[in-house]
Amino acid sequence: MAAPFPAPLDPDLEGRILTPALLVDLGAARRNIEAVLRLTAGPARWRPHVKTAKIPEVLALYARAGVRRFKCATAREADVLAGVLEAESTPSGDVLLAHHLHGRGLDRLAELATRWPGVTFSTLAESVEQVAEIPPGIGVFVDVDLGMARTGIDVNAGDEIRAIARAAGDRFRGLHAYDGHRYEADLAERARLIHASYDELVSLAAALRQAGLCPAEVITAGTPAFPAALKHIGLATLPGSVHRVSPGTVVYHDLRSVEQLPDLEAEFAATVLTRVASLPGRDRVTCDAGSKAIEGTGPDRIAEVIDHPHLKAAGQSEEHTVFVAEGGQRPARGALLRLIPGHVCPTVNLATHALLLEDGRLIGRAEVAARGHEALA
């Protein structure tokens, strides 16, 4: 099913909003969370990555839907998330900081564990030496490489993985195997490749179990891989282990996700409102949201313009995106345009604030509190 367009903006609002502005529709985000929970048959098998959500009001939607376990990439995300879990009185909140921390990063995680005693914290390790540096009280997931070749130890390096799990002792929580490289256009081929690598993961978990090092949790899959991941019988039935998937982009959804998972039932919950600033040449339309308001430097399409499918993004500078009108009329100078981001995660990270909507109606203004990095000294 193609993603339904967001609820139209309340017309009273249109003249009031200073552009460019990030709009986040909580109704749509709530329904996206519910859609994943239908696929995972409840919260037990979902550890969402919150690098996309970033806004406390959206993180609270997860907590209210019964999600207890989360993944994040930065200390700021971990801090904001833990604060939300405490404010929502979420029992057994569990935050995996899924990055390789060194030096001050490890101290910061220990500080967060002290600051939020009601939340369980863990992180990743890929060597015995790294485990020795992880502060006491912080859980350890061994980071396993299923072929993405970004971080982690090869899934077939059983001896090394056993040694790390043994070094972690009772802090060993399980295996983290993110397969973000699996987004082949052919969905059947993608599922076949995902399942082949999960067979190796199942063998690894069995070998660890035999060595008395049973991984309590095995985490795989972002958005493009998670529907196939949930269908792997071996992981779903691992003795002594729970398999969890970790899609995060799905909370807001974007054009890239539509391309990667055309059947996913999700709505565009985060859009960027912009105005036509200029009409250069005969067919150009330039709006006031540039690369500082909507991400366009990556390989993905910059954006689609709601109700103006003939406007094709042609390029960006910091405060401008230029569209070419391929047939059809150009909107007037000053007209409002609503953009669906190609890649929503970095787009949300660009905004300091978002206007919160509930099915098109403005309900407030929120800080994108988990954006950026802390840069503490």
Ligand X SMILES: Cc1ncc(COP(=O)(O)O)c(C=O)c1O
Cβ at position 152, least distance to ligand X in Å: 10
* Shortest Å distance, C-beta 212 to ligand X: 28
**CB closer to ligand X, 258 vs 337:** 258
- DSSP conformation letters of 49-87: BTTTT-SHHHHHHHHHTT--EEEESSHHHHHHHHHHHHH
* Residue where the block lists tokens 């983290």: 176
Give whichever of 149 and 377 is closer to ligand X, judged by the CB atom: 149
Candidates 30, 40, 17; CA nearest to 253 is 30
CB of 198 to ligand X, least distance (A): 15
Query: In the complex with ligand X, which residue's Cβ is closer, 145 or 288?
Result: 145
Positive/negative CA dihedral, 248, 264, 8, 292: positive
Q: Is 51 left (phi over 0), alpha (psi -120 to 50) or beta?
A: alpha
Give 265 or 358: the residue with its C-beta nearer to ligand X. 265
Among residues 55, 56, 75, which one has the least CA distance to residue 376? Answer: 75
Q: Which is nearer to ligand X, 99 or 308 (CB)?
A: 99
Query: Which residue, judged by CB position, is nearest to ligand X in the bound state?
Result: 222
In sequence order, the 6+-apart residues with CB closer than 8 A to the CB of 217 are 141, 173, 174, 175, 241, 242, 243, 244
Minimum separation from the CB atom of position 277 to ligand X (A):
31
Look up residue 267 and give its two tokens: 């709505």
**Minimum distance, C-beta of residue 99 to ligand X, in the bound complex (Å):** 8
Residue 243 or 308 having the CB closest to ligand X: 243
Contact set with ligand X (CB under 6 A): 49, 71, 98, 178, 180, 222-224, 246-249
In whole angstroms, how far apart are CA 239 and each of 115, 169, 199, 204?
A: 35, 20, 14, 13
Least CB distance to ligand X at residue 17 (A) = 28
Bridge partner list, 272: 22, 339
Comparison of 30 and 71: residue with beta carbon closer to ligand X:
71
Bridge partners (DSSP) of residue 40 are: none
Cβ 362 to ligand X shortest distance, Å: 28
